[in-house]
Amino acid sequence: MTGAEVYICVRKTVEWTDEAAFRAQLTPAFAPGVDLWNATFNIPFHLFRHRVREIARSNLEQVRGAILARWDEVPEWALVLPVDDDDWFAPDAAEFIQAARLPGRSLYHWDAIFLEVPMHIGHQFHVWKRRILHSPTKWICCTNNYAVVKTSETEPLFVSHLRASSWVNANPQHVGRLPGTWSLMNRTLASQTTIRVLLPKWRRFLSRPALLRKYARYRNLYRRPPAAGMEWCRPYLARMDALMGDLLPARVDPA
């Protein structure tokens, strides 16, 4: 192996179609959020996430010059694009990033683009700052806006974007900053950070009315045209729009 290949590696795979297997992998801390979802909507949480994953997988399969594989299947020195199972890449991302490789660089990153409804008021303010003032994201490396060269030392950077961000700050001489927007983070209604309310003294999870309000905003989100330079997202936006059209509030029987 020469390391010339580019690989896309999904960090964690969940058996979404098997509810028992999904429940076995579910952390106790997030189980109430799943129960809230299932009591609120007609599509169970695990089946909704399965459809989100299938949309993402159809995107990953269209990335030219990239091979879908597990981390342990990737040869040393190959370029790896880490991704969660709901996020997307531009079809020419692998070709561009591979062409930009330089000796001595172990990690490459580019601007992070999110498709999301703000989680809370504080996050809304941060989104405005990011859009209007072009302020940086909290983390240099987010879920899929970076690539790593596989070695025995870089696996922690693949596993955790937080570790990758810290590593970038500590090792700038081994980092390449790339122009362009080569990926998108699809923070869906079913994302843990969406269902949870993280501000101090707030509820641990959204209430049903708050979840339904956010649901209405997400239905509008995927109907918007893609931003300039992100036209490649159009087929996946359409599929997410269709999925949100299938997701309906469950009927609540009167007590």
Q: Is 1 part of any domain?
A: no
CA–CA dist 13, 175 (Å, integer): 28
Q: Is 120 part of any domain?
A: yes
CA–CA dist 59, 79 (Å, integer): 19
Q: What is the mean pLDDT of residues 136-151?
A: 89
Are 248 and 226 contacting, i.e. CB atoms less than 8 angstroms apart? no
Q: Is 252 part of any domain?
A: no
The pLDDT tens digits for 165-180 are: 999 999 999 999 999 9
Domain extent at residue 139: 6-246
Q: Is 254 part of any domain?
A: no
Burial 77-111 (b: 16+ CB within 10 A, else e): ebbbbbbbbbbbbbeebbebbbebeeeebbbbbbb
Beta bridge pairs of residue 147: 108
- Residue 1 has a pLDDT of 37
Q: Is 251 part of any domain?
A: no
Residue 203 tokens, joined: 């509820």
Answer yes or no: is pLDDT of 137 > 80. Answer: no
Answer yes or no: is pLDDT of 26 > 70. Answer: yes
Answer yes or no: is pLDDT of 64 > 80. Answer: yes
Residue 209 tokens, joined: 């009315």
Q: Is 94 part of any domain?
A: yes
Number of domains in the chain: 1
Q: Is 212 part of any domain?
A: yes
The pLDDT tens digits for 179-227 are: 999 999 999 999 988 887 544 444 567 789 989 999 999 999 999 999 9
- Residue 2 has a pLDDT of 44
Q: Is 125 part of any domain?
A: yes
CA–CA dist 148, 87 (Å, integer): 17
